[in-house]
Amino acid sequence: MVNLRTQKRLAASVIGCGKRKIWLDPNEVSEISNANSRQTIRKLVSDGLIIRKPVTMHSRSRARELNLSRRDGRHRGFGKRKGTADARMPQQVLWMRRQRVLRRLLVKYRASGKIDKHLYHELYHSSKGNAFKHKRALVEHIHRAKAEMARERAITEEMDIRRQKNKAARERKAERQAAKRNELAGEDEA
């Protein structure tokens, strides 16, 4: 048996793959053994005496099946766990996700005019201070805050109206008293 190790090495280099992927035609051993340069190897490759073997099959069907069952919650028990709960799903990542969700909502509400910049600033710091567990809690808080603001505005308007009424009544009373005084003064003179 002729040693074709050099030819295999050169062929691997020329084709650009590993040596184990090179197939040398066993019927043309004498011709292949004469090839001692890259140029002659290239010619043999083009002639089909040296061929690159196809990539071997590596099926993912079992992996896909396992992933599907994992979605249903199989193979996730205590016996399958290696890291701590925090290593598997870090608290930091959960916190970042929650903050991004809340901040995105606040930006959207501010842009659409549902909240003003002052309430936005206040809620931004509240969310950073862990005041809201999730998006729904923040939305409910916004509704409550807006209702409270509307109620306060209505109360202040009502108080302003009452103040103006009282002021007008006082002025009328003062006018009446002044008129009465003038009347009495006129009678005294006569």
Distance, CA of 157 to CA of 175 (rounded, Å): 27
Residue 66 placed within a domain: no
Please report the pLDDT score of residue 40 as a whole number: 97
Same-domain status, 115 and 184: yes
Establish if 23 belongs to a structural domain. yes
Question: 70-104, pLDDT tens digit by residue?
Answer: 999 999 999 999 999 999 999 999 999 999 999 99
DSSP state, residue 113:
T
Longest dimension (CA), the chain: 156
36 and 106 fall within a common domain? no
For 74, counting Cβ atoms within 10 Å of its Cβ (0-12 exposed, 13-18 middle, 19+ buried), the class is exposed
CATH number reported for the structural domain that contains residue 147 in this entry: 1.10.1200.240
Task: List, as one string, the DSSP characters of 60-89.
Answer: -HHHHHHHHHHHTTTT-SGGG--S-HHHHS
Q: What is the pLDDT of residues 132-188, one digit of tens each?
A: 999 999 999 999 999 999 999 999 999 999 999 999 999 999 999 998 888 888 777
The answer to whether 96 and 128 have CB atoms below 8 angstroms apart is: no
Q: Do 46 and 95 fall within a single domain?
A: no
Residue 165 shares a structural domain with residue 103: yes
Sign of CA dihedral 160, 166, 168, 174: negative
Residue 185 lies in a domain: yes
Rounded distance between C-alpha atoms, residue 175 and residue 169, angstroms = 10
Which helix (DSSP H) or strand (DSSP E) does residue 129 occupy? none
Number of domain units in the chain: 2
Residue 37 in any domain: the answer is yes
- The C-alpha atoms of residue 83 and residue 75 are separated, in whole angstroms, by 15
Summarize pLDDT for 16-56 with one digit per residue, the tens.
Answer: 999 999 999 999 999 999 999 999 999 999 999 999 999 99
Q: What integer best gives the mean pLDDT of the chain?
A: 95
75 in any annotated domain: no
3-state DSSP percent of the chain in helix, strand and coil, to 5: 75, 5, 25
**Could you list the residue range(s) of the whole structural domain that residue 44 is in?**
5-52
**Per the structure block, which two tokens stand in for 157?**
């308007």
CATH of the domain at 41: 1.10.1650.10
- Integer Cα distance of 82 and 158 in angstroms: 65
Position 170 in a domain: yes
CA distance 25 to 7: 12
- Give a yes or no: residue 80 inside a domain: no
Do 113 and 161 share a domain, yes or no? yes
Beta carbons within 10 angstroms of residue 137's beta carbon: 13
Enter the pTM of the model: 0.63
